[in-house]
Amino acid sequence: MDDRRRLKETVAGARIELRRLGTAPDLGSLAAGAEGDVVWLDSSLPEGAPAAAHERARWSVLAWTDGPFSVRFRHEARRAFLDVPPASWSWFGASRVDDRPAFDVLSDLLDGTPVLSEPVPGCGFALGWVGFLGYELGRESGGADRTADGHADADLRFADRAVLVEEGGDAWALALVADAEPAASAANRAWLETVTASTAQADVDDAPPRLPDGSEATGRVTRAAYESAVDACRAEIREGNAFQVCLTTAFAVREARVDPGTDPHLTEYLRLRAVDPVPFGAYLRLGPLRVASRSPERFLRIEATGAVSAEPIKGTRRRAEDPVEDEAVRAELAASVKDRAENVMIVDLLRNDLLRTALPGSVHVDRLCDVETYASVHQMVSTIGAVLPAGASRAAVVRAAFPPGSMTGAPKISAMAIADRLEDAPRGVYSGAIGYFSASGAADLSVAIRTLVTVLDEDGSVRSRTFGAGGAVTWSSVAADEADEVETKTRSVLAGLGAVARW
């Protein structure tokens, strides 16, 4: 398979042309100025972040999706819709509708993607597929047979134009060219010259897209109903049907004040990132979707060499304003028997998920139950690693571990069935994954938590705005405490909008 792909690359003459930018541009300003859809994978860290977190936050990527080679892969209503421009027909075929499962179609698309060397040392992104995989794709690996409500289950774009920014300020513009497509290549070379290195930043201090302080985000269920569902999870655990169930809910969020002629949802995101630095932030403008994610959690990272790692988070505490009290909160989390049990269960689950596609004997745990501190919370994080066999399908690796185990519970299939029955609603983008599948063979995906999802109607009006939150339920869970944890997780995003959760 690899030889065939490399032959295809050679015949097409596909390669990346690179332009180093003198100063790092402000990606928020570039995203605001883009006419079409964009995917911004946005990394940052708060002051004093642990050293281990810097690797995760080293690179930010802004990908344009309207270039001459750009392809759209959308999986909706259990069908794949592929929009392919003529310049990319030799790699991906013509536009079509495909009735196969999403991960089967994705596997073929990745197999057809020209192999491109990573142009910037240390960064796995060499152009490629960017976007999201929604939680309901879990139906392809044993989950409930649901689809997302009001939007696609997956939307990935083959991006042929991007800007990379490294922590510390270095930046590069990337564009795809191919000898067989001179007109498309000329358009991308011209685009390279238009990328500005201006450091002017979008001003969000007085930006209008913000909810009136004290606005309520209304729960899909009442707090009492959620606590009752926690007790139902505990009953399932008592009967031996699960060890842990990730139970979630959602809150409906009011639309912000809109300034005509702007992207109000991007402005909201800029406000959120200013107060809550995280290594896996993301802003997606994809058709009718606007996704603002402030995730601290990596789902899977696959290097071009075949090394793979997962970094699940289980265990969260809200930070205290007083430094002494804050350190006590951190210490309490580190010593919590319940939280360690939650974390270890998911570590075991992910070891099993990775073993399904990794080389036997290569799965290992690099760290267990470390506590990391972010702007609004302390979190317990573990790292699991493995090595893939040569030529392993990246789509198969992701499907074997999907949905992210930290958002399902254990055992995965049983826990997903329990959660689906109790939640009785799709999760959509929330609990899925956001990130990229690089043309180099690398991939990096975050867990879509702390994520605000807006769906627009054709006229641009807002159809829905939702924010999902939840937590792991074990036998030792206390229903009121689990509800408190949900409220804590809403604050990192809703507080930045001037809203509070009410249920």
As annotated, the active-site residues are 297, 314
Helices (H), ranges, 195-242: 223-238
**Closest residue by Cα to residue 163 from 314, 20, 326, 321:** 20
Q: Over the range 428-451, which residues count as b (16 or more CB within 10 Å of their CB) and which as e?
A: bbbbbbbbbbbbbbbbbbbbbbbb
**Closest residue by Cα to residue 421 from 250, 149, 232:** 232
The whole-angstrom separation of Cα 98 and Cα 108 is: 12
Task: Assign 275 to helix, strand or coil.
Answer: helix
Helix then strand count (H, E) for the chain reads 13, 25
The whole-angstrom separation of Cα 78 and Cα 6 is: 32
Sequence-distant contacts of 137-141: CB under 8 A, at least 24 apart: 137/75, 137/102, 137/103, 137/402, 137/403, 137/432, 138/402, 138/403, 138/408, 138/416, 140/101, 140/102, 140/103, 140/399, 140/402, 141/399, 141/400, 141/402, 141/403
CA torsion, points 410, 435, 113, 192, in degrees to nearest 10? Answer: -170
| Percentage helix, strand, coil for the chain under 3-state DSSP, each rounded to 5 | 35, 30, 35
Q: Concatenate the DSSP letters of all residues of 330-392 into one string.
A: HHHHHH-HHHHHHHHHHHHHHHHHHHTTSPTT--EEEEEEEEEE-SSEEEEEEEEEEEPPTT-
**CB neighbourhood size of 470 (10 A):** 23
